[in-house]
Amino acid sequence: MSKPPPEVLQLPIWKRAEIAFKVAVARAIEEHARLGFPIYIWRDGRVVELSPEEVLSEAGQGSHNR
């Protein structure tokens, strides 16, 4: 998710905060990967390192919201 819905001001404040948080996290992860740093995530009960290439690939597929 990179853009909030056009009717965002009609949403409750908690929902607007959730949208803003998700957008900020996605941007931070993508910037981190573009700078060449790995990302560490929790997957299947353990910490997994994703290379910058994997991060950008998953971000393009929309699967970073696990």
Question: Would residue 18 count as lying in a domain?
Answer: yes
Could you tell me if residue 20 is inside a domain? yes
Q: Quote the CA–CA distance of 17 and 34 in Å, as a whole number.
A: 26
Q: Does residue 41 fall inside a structural domain? A: yes
Each residue of 12-59: pLDDT tens digit?
999 999 989 999 998 999 899 999 999 999 999 999 999 999 888 877
Structural domain including 45 reads: 11-61
pTM over 0.75: no
3-state secondary structure of 19: helix
Q: Is residue 19 part of a domain?
A: yes
Residue 7 has what pLDDT? 84
Q: Could you give the number of structural domains in the chain?
A: 1
Would residue 4 count as lying in a domain?
no
